[in-house]
Structure 1
């Protein structure tokens, strides 16, 4: 087996185990046994299980080509970015509800930030907003979207995230949270 295939074999077998059981119940010994490899081979490719998870996240992020995202709406881009979570629901939830939650959250924050930046480029928002205002707008949406995704994960992906996010964005864009005296609030 080639080096790239061995690395992928380890990642694939880990994902199979992660679908079957919580992360804190998975050991390197179980991964290598399932792969038919020895521990040294695992450690040649990965420092530990968190580095394996990080490699899986990096692979998924790289699979979302910016050119592909640039042709989609913001919600379609987000939906595409989270397709991995939906396709690997049990594994994603096991990782999310584990000690690797921080890694998962960092990956989501990066994914959402990259998606927003691609969307801003696509829509040429830098021509509409000055740099500081654009930074604030992107920060607001990153927080809104990250909060929505984290809630969706906390609820074990039990609702339609795309539709819920569409509602949240609509509320935000229509000034739902602004006080009545705010001068820019729609009537």
Structure 2
């Protein structure tokens, strides 16, 4: 088996197991058996399950970055970016309710950041908004979106996130452009903001 094929198989079977049971119930032995590989093959690719979880989130974030489409609204971009979460609700719930809660939160914050940074930068091309304000507006929406998604995960993922995201989009329609245009008339902001 090629190295990429084996790693892809391990990731896929791990997510399948997490969609069925809590992460603390998943063992390397069980995972190796599902993949029809030896335990030592798992350890050849990963030091432990923690490294596997981190790689899954890194790979999924890379997909979000690669698939960003400038023709989509931020709502559609965010829904597309959250596809991994929506397709694997139980796995995400199991990770969130475990020692991997911080990894889930970091992933959600990162995908929200990718979407909002790119979207706000795109909208800003229509304005003469200051760079600091572009970053500040993107960061504000990154925090709002990621908090909403984390709260949705924490509350059991009962509401329809697509409908909720689209409704937020309708309520906030035009606010990003309006905020960027307001930036044109504001004095320069000399404070160093640590928002990256």
Same fold (TM over 0.5): yes
Q: TM-score, normalised by structure 2?
A: 0.80
For residues 148 and 165 of structure 2, what CA distance do their matches in structure 1 show?
A: 7
Match of 1:152 in 2: 152
Match of 2:183 in 1: none
Match of 1:48 in 2: 48
Q: TM-score, normalised by structure 1?
A: 0.83
Match of 1:181 in 2: none
- Listed as ranges, the gaps of 5+ residues in structure 2 are 176-196
The answer on whether the counterparts of 1:18 and 1:91 sit within 8 Å (CA) in structure 2 is: yes
For residues 125 and 156 of structure 2, what CA distance do their matches in structure 1 show?
A: 34
The answer on whether the counterparts of 1:96 and 1:104 sit within 8 Å (CA) in structure 2 is: yes
For residues 134 and 169 of structure 1, what CA distance do their matches in structure 2 show?
A: 19
Match of 1:62 in 2: 62
Higher mean Cα deviation, 74-83 or 124-133?
124-133
Q: CA RMSD in A?
A: 2.2
The answer on whether the counterparts of 2:120 and 2:137 sit within 8 Å (CA) in structure 1 is: no
CA drift of 1:53 comes to 1.2
For residues 96 and 87 of structure 2, what CA distance do their matches in structure 1 show?
A: 15
Match of 2:180 in 1: none
CA deviation string 1:18-67 (max 9, x = no partner): 11100111111211122222222111111211211111112222223446
1:28 aligns with 2:28: yes
For residues 69 and 83 of structure 1, what CA distance do their matches in structure 2 show?
A: 15
CA deviation string 1:55-99 (max 9, x = no partner): 111222222344643221101011001111111121121112211
1:118 aligns with 2:104: no
The answer on whether the counterparts of 1:81 and 1:111 sit within 8 Å (CA) in structure 2 is: yes
Match of 2:161 in 1: 161
CA drift of 1:171 comes to 5.4
